[in-house]
Amino acid sequence: MTGPTGGLEVGAEVEVDVTAFAHGGHAIARHEGQVLFVRHALPGERVRAHVTSAGAGERFLRADAVDVVVASPDRVVPPCPWAGPGKCGGCDLQHVSLTAQRALKAGVVREQLARLAHLEVDVEVEPVPGDDAGLDWRSRVEFAVDDAGRAGLRRHRSHAVVPVDHCRIAAPGVDRLEVTEHPWSGLEAVDAVAPSLGEPVAVRVPEDGSGPVVRERVTTSWSGADGTTVTFDREFAVDARGFWQVHPGAAATFLAAVMGELDVRPGERALDLYCGVGLFASALAEAVGPTGQVVAVESDPSATEHARANLADQPQVAVVTARVDDAFGVARPSRRGTGRRSSAPRRAARSPLLPPSADVVVLDPPRTGAGKAICAEVARLRPRAIAYVACDPAALARDTAILAEAGYRLDRVRAFDAFPMTHHVECVATFRAG
């Protein structure tokens, strides 16, 4: 089935050879000059692809592999019966062996750094302690609710709800809530949360009043600046629907990676940007000691309220409730074309709590990355080291290029498989001046 210009159109099926794996969890194939991003396929395979949608300007097509003509040796039977074309969209790599999943993700990180930052970096995706098979790890799952009140998971690129029996990557505590076995009439979603401390909770969305608060414990260790082993063991309060790493081993793993690279010394000044409820700020405070200073910035008021409580015994920490760009006094872009009454850029004054310089900086931005303005402001602080925690390799690569222009070289990248069975990968990058 072809469109008016001779290319494939939505609904068409065609046999294609898969040549590569792309950022976003799709394999790449071509048919008569058209690029197809094919889910549920692997490089080296020949598949029958069903075209599901067209990209902007029909420059590319999205498709599902509905039949495998020639299979890759890395292909396995998906452990979840709800994974596959037209089913749950949460896991896009259930058909791939765990070792091959990590190899594909490492390739994506390398490709993004090469394409966007012009750096050739050898990256290996490391497993996160806590799961051996890539299943039973996700401690926070949002179940969508359909018009009939049934809870399930969303189909890929759709609002349709797939009424699964249970999620195979969900932690046992999530499964114990049996969310999919109960009616939830009148709700949009149910968030199932299995914290490391206490009982799992099911949060109704929308909530009636304030949601529950859960407690998470982080225990880990790393080598300090003097070569001795530093042990960290601390509890954190966080809103059940607030941000916390969903893999039980992720928070400890990322914290050890960051602190092990920064070599924070007593008396130093540190910044924790996008600080959440204070995980990195707390470890930084222990490292700089009572003669040092930590400034933690977070835009979410509830998170900063918890951060102040979590860090109440560490008076060397100042928690600032603000967007990071506002805290630096960076003007937000104009909103022309949005239909809003005011189209002028928002002017911001630099927070007096932000110091003029810093020895070390931790950046843990959202998926879009820190961006040019924030990277420039961080560089102006002239830290000796920057630790960047990234949930998107493309955003990391873009910001790596920006930091390089500002005089900061990429010293090391570690990648972690914090989201098995999905295309997502977490990176911890270290930058140093010079």
For the question of residue 391 being annotated catalytic, the response is yes
Question: For 83, which DSSP code?
Answer: B
What is the distance between the alpha carbons of residues 248 and 169, in angstroms, rounded to a whole number? 12
Handedness of CA 175, 181, 182, 186 (dihedral sign): positive
What is the distance between the alpha carbons of residues 360 and 371, in angstroms, rounded to a whole number? 19
Burial of 263 (0-12, 13-18, 19+ CB in 10 A): middle
- The candidate with the shortest Cα–Cα distance to 169, out of 261, 51, 76, 79, is 79
3-state secondary structure of 255: helix
- Distant-in-sequence, close-in-space partners of 137: CB < 8 Å, separation ≥ 6: 130, 131, 169, 171, 246, 247, 248, 420
Q: 167 — alpha (psi -120 to 50), left (phi > 0) or beta?
A: beta
Please report, for residues 88, 263, 360, the alpha-carbon distance to residue 266 in angstroms, rounded to integers and kept in the order given: 49, 10, 12
Strand spans (E) along 56-179: 60-70, 125-127, 140-145, 151-154, 161-162
| From 88, 91, 391, 427, active-site residue | 391
What is the distance between the alpha carbons of residues 214 and 236, in angstroms, rounded to a whole number? 8
- Per-residue tokens: 208: 């009636």
Q: How many residues does the chain have?
A: 434
Strand spans (E) along 112-183: 125-127, 140-145, 151-154, 161-162
What is the distance between the alpha carbons of residues 165 and 181, in angstroms, rounded to a whole number? 8
What residues are annotated to the active site? 391
